[in-house]
Amino acid sequence: MATETVENYIKALYALCRESPSGEAGVVRLAQELGVTKGTATSMIKRLSLARLVKAEPYSGIALTAKGNKIALDVLRRHRVIETFLVRTLNLDWADVHEEAERLEHALSARILDRLDEFLGRPSTDPHGDPIPDAAGNVSETRSKPLAKCRARERVCIVRIMDQNRAFLKFVAESGLKPGANLVVHSVSTQGNSLTVQAVRGKPVTLSHSAAGKILVKIIS
Amino acid sequence: MATETVENYIKALYALCRESPSGEAGVVRLAQELGVTKGTATSMIKRLSLARLVKAEPYSGIALTAKGNKIALDVLRRHRVIETFLVRTLNLDWADVHEEAERLEHALSARILDRLDEFLGRPSTDPHGDPIPDAAGNVSETRSKPLAKCRARERVCIVRIMDQNRAFLKFVAESGLKPGANLVVHSVSTQGNSLTVQAVRGKPVTLSHSAAGKILVKIIS
DNA sequence: ATTAAAAGTTTGATTAGTCAAACTTATTTG
DNA sequence: CAAATAAGTTTGACTAATCAAACTTTTAAT
Ligand SMILES: [Mn+2]
Ligand SMILES: [Mn+2]
Ligand SMILES: [Mn+2]
Ligand SMILES: [Mn+2]
């Protein structure tokens, strides 16, 4: 079994590779993400490479191997099942659960994870709308687009919040913009740097372009 | 915060001090308990001593300080709340939960622990009858004696099983001797090396002296 | 095409935790 | 009591994870 530290590196690498157009991660960003120096990250990459969890040439990009990807999805599954449990069963604030899950994700056996998953009714997404990979590592992401790309008068349903920041999550919840909420795009500013939406039976909310970019929605037919 | 390793040493020391008449623990037993060499245990004791978690003179007994005791009770609380959750909510086998809790006990924050405790209705004992310390570190142990010390025809209620061994726990459950079970002491062999008990509406079970010594009971008035 | 900045690597040191094996002190036991 | 045994300690070595600081390579600007 991978150590807690290795699992954290793998998970961070997975996220960085996702969001990079080249599909590869860099050492500096990785170090930033994990709060370590770049030298530390470099030496860990060497170890992961030796363990065949990543593919990396000196002075070039880092990518996960199939084996590394498997671990990433497994950790992600544990993380998201735990978040779901913490919110649904223990009533923790959805803005707090990410950090809690960050520690717990490394301590659950496969057996407990499965029991927890069963107890929760095999949820397909966590409280933030993040898809939960199944035990085999399959992820089914709902087709969606950023709210920032919507046009006026579109009716949409929020599917996912792409940011773990506590303050942002608090704001999103305050504004009634949690996953599942239906809303109408009221107006879009001409410069495209903000837009106003209104939840059903809610007050209108104006969002900056960057905030609206982190909220994924699907169009209601 | 103490590391996982330190918490394990402290917890083991707590148990060893409990069961020793002198109230002090030795390095060899400690090492055995944790599956490390005695040299390793010695060096850890030095560190714990420096951190004021134990009081220890070279070549003499080890005792927990008040600070160490506090940590031990805290870990014990987490361990037992988790075991209760695993059995009651996730339906895990009571023989398996000890090992699972052994890892989880180090990953729960105070907040999650409290929510879990609340969710379970603030239980006072875990599935094995082990008392759960409260958040302040108070333990209330039910007055009890070993089943081995009972005489024929006594009617007793099982309060606690003093052994985490899986095979033993399986046997205890099979025999209907879980905490809460009421039974009558049928007969006691003259040599005192075995005794036969019968649960209400159960078959008679014969126990060795050593097995009966690990089952704590209280007399039913 | 130089050169400055950014990205990545290396080196030497540190801490936590561990082992094997030699060693010392305390306890038993004949 | 002396010798054997058990308990406890010390030493030297190792792995995982980290940092600071010097160094090298790549990339971006001028
Ligand atoms: Mn983590
Ligand atoms: Mn999430
Ligand atoms: Mn433990
Ligand atoms: Mn227990």
Comparing every residue's Cα with the C1' atom of nucleotide C19, the nearest one is B37
Q: What is the pLDDT of residues B78-101, one digit of tens each?
A: 999 999 999 999 999 999 999 999
First to last CA, chain B: 46
Q: For residue B175, which of B208, B144, B151, B206 has the smallest C-alpha distance?
A: B206
- Please state, rounded to an integer, the average pLDDT across all residues of chain B: 96
Residue B36's nearest nucleotide, by CA–C1', is C18
For A110, nearest residue in chain B (alpha carbons): B100
Q: Is A111 on the interface with B (CB under 8 A)?
A: yes
State whether the beta carbon of A210 lies below 7 angstroms from any atom of strand D: no
Per-residue model confidence (pLDDT) at position A200: 85
With a cut of 90, say whether residue B29 has pLDDT above it: yes
Per-residue model confidence (pLDDT) at position A54: 98
> Near ion ligand 3, which residues have CB within 5 Å?
B 8, 102
With a cut of 90, say whether residue A214 has pLDDT above it: yes
Q: Taking a contact as any Cβ pair under 8 Å apart, which residues of chain B between 114 and 153 contact chain A?
A: 115-116, 119
Using a cut of 0.75, tell me whether the model's pTM lies above it: yes
- Residue B88 CA to residue B44 CA, distance in Å, equals 36
Residue type, B108: L
Helix (H/G/I), strand (E/B), else coil: A162: coil
Strand-strand pairing, B145-146 and B62-64: unpaired
Distance between Cα B157 and ligand 3 center (Å): 30
Distance in angstroms: CA A49, C1' D19: 22
Per-residue model confidence (pLDDT) at position A45: 98
In this structure, are residues A10 and A49 in contact, taking their beta carbons and an 8 Å threshold?
Answer: no
How many residues in chain A?
221
With a cut of 90, say whether residue B192 has pLDDT above it: no
Angle at B118 between CA B114 and CA B123, to 5 degrees: 105
Per-residue model confidence (pLDDT) at position A37: 98
Taking phi over 0 as left and psi of -120 to 50 as alpha, with beta for the rest, B5 belongs to alpha
Per-residue model confidence (pLDDT) at position B193: 87
Distance between Cα A50 and ligand 4 center (Å): 41
Chain D positions with any atom < 7 A from a protein CB:
6-12, 16-22, 25-26
Give the tokens for residue A217.
């929605």
Average pLDDT over residues B94-119: 97
Q: What is the pLDDT of residues A71-103, one digit of tens each?
A: 999 999 999 999 999 999 999 999 999 999 999
Distance between Cα B156 and ligand 4 center (Å): 21
Distance, in angstroms, between B129 CA and closest chain A CA? 22
Q: How confident is the model at residue B11 (pLDDT cuts 50, 70, 90)?
A: very high
Residue A51's nearest nucleotide, by CA–C1', is D16
Distance in angstroms: CA A86, C1' C17: 32
Per-residue model confidence (pLDDT) at position B190: 78
Report the range of poorest mean pLDDT among A127-141, A160-174, A187-201, B21-35. A187-201
Q: Taking a contact as any Cβ pair under 8 Å apart, which residues of chain A between 152 and 211 contact chain B?
A: none
Which domains are present in chain A? 4-64 (1.10.10.10), 145-219 (2.30.30.90)
Per-residue model confidence (pLDDT) at position B191: 79
Q: What is the pLDDT of residues A191-209, one digit of tens each?
A: 878 999 999 888 999 999 9
- Residue A27 CA to residue A158 CA, distance in Å, equals 34
Per-residue model confidence (pLDDT) at position B200: 85
